[in-house]
Structure 1
Amino acid sequence: MAISAHPDRHVDHQERDDLTRELFERRLQTPTELVHSIDERIVELYLPLSDGMARRYVNKGIEEEDLVQVARLALVKAISRFDVGNGGSFAAFAVPTIAGELKRHFRDHGWMVRPSRRVQELRIAARTQRQQLEQELGHTPSRAELAEQLGVPTEALAEADANDSSFRPLSIDAPTAGGDETSLGAAVAVTDPELEQVCDHVALSAALRDLDDRTRRVLLLRFVDEATQRDIAEELGASQMQVSRMLKRTLADLRERMDDERDAADVTTDVPAHRAG
């Protein structure tokens, strides 16, 4: 549901509150099927409030348009729940309702990497407690001071602080803290020869599956146990020449099979997305 109504003129808070109370009282006397137009008018009056609350959360990992819609839907929910007979203003009721929906939306959809509920709750408690300690101590509390106040280990607090990046992780193209032109990705990247050989290992594993037990035993003795061709021949009851020919033939066959595996993988990668299925 998208809400796109806009107020037709500016009204101050007192005028808005008076008009809102009048609209809610009229709403009580209107048949259910006809209250829609009254609700639309109340929405128009409070769109600046709901949109302003949504924009407080901009640049924290969720698109502004999504936040605005969540806040506006929360406004509609507040209208349906408000009891004009309780004597309070609708604004005082709507604000915590909208704030709660925005926070719930962040809890459910705002994490790139979702931490445990324990970490989320500690993160919120730490933020509130930090503000209180700043006023009491006259300076920004250290992690140790904050952890002591919360009654948790400093390691747990460090884990909660580290999850701030779970909303919007750092880009690997971001510059490092040193101020030079080195990117974060370049700073953490390493050349791993073993990783580069993964495709070869996969292709070799597939090729080895088709060999008979005797041939696999010869390869194991030669390339794992590093036995000589003479030792292998003695174990198999064959001549050294036969072992040599078997190894030469098997290695040539494995190379051919591995080449076929790589070619098949390249073809699959090159298939356009709409044909890959």
Structure 2
Amino acid sequence: MSAGQDSREDTARESGSDSESDSDSDERGRARHGAPRAATVAGARFANATGAVARDATPAQRSAESVERDARRARAAAAEAAAARAAAAAVQPTSPQNEAESPDSRDGTAEAKERLIRAVTAILNPLVNPPPLQEQCVVTLHTLCKNVVDNPSDDRYRRVKATSRTMTQKVLACRGGEEFLAAAGWRKVALDYEGYYRCEDTAHCIELLRIAEDVLRKNLRLCREKTERHERAKTREKDDAARQKEEARRAIEEDKARRREAEERKRAAKAAAS
């Protein structure tokens, strides 16, 4: 092999080694520059995942991350509030006013009202009860029911003595009065060896009394009108009887006067004949 060929081979080997060293240095440089960039990307991903803002993030990135963090917090707060409301609604008892009435309760209310209407119709029957007694009975029953409805916690209004003059002369003496008491929830009980009518302190009894008070209130005006008509009729009958009596008295007086005149004429004629 010649000296020229040896020199060319040495030159090629040197250039190859130089290129290899250059490529190695380029790879090391890219690795050095690429490592911070990869760390930055990983940090941004971690910040997005945890809600933290990277120190070297741009203002736009910081603003976007803040908005995203606030949105996540708002969603979490809304979810907690909804869960709290659901828990409170589950614990809070439902009131009777908010509960929907069942068909059975509506049927029971309608049946109770029907019994009360039948009882008050019996009270208002003029063939068995005169209008003044009807009015006294309706007014007394209305007062009893209204007192309990207006004062549900006062036990004084929940009982009335069965032998009192008010009950015997105004309610029990009227046909249908005792039936109405039973339909309105009043029960006859013995307290201190005496008979009483008493209504229980229950929601069902209060509802019955409220319905009874409404039924009686609607008939109060009718009872007063019937009583007024009855009183006017009685006054007319009394006036007619007095007028007829006066006319009969006058007729008797006139007949007596005619008889006296006839007797006087007879005596005068007899005296003239003698």
TM-score between both structures, scaled by the size of structure 2? 0.19
Structure with the higher fraction of residues in strand conformation: 2
Higher RCO (C-alpha under 8 Å, 6+ residues apart): 2
TM-score between both structures, scaled by the size of structure 1? 0.18
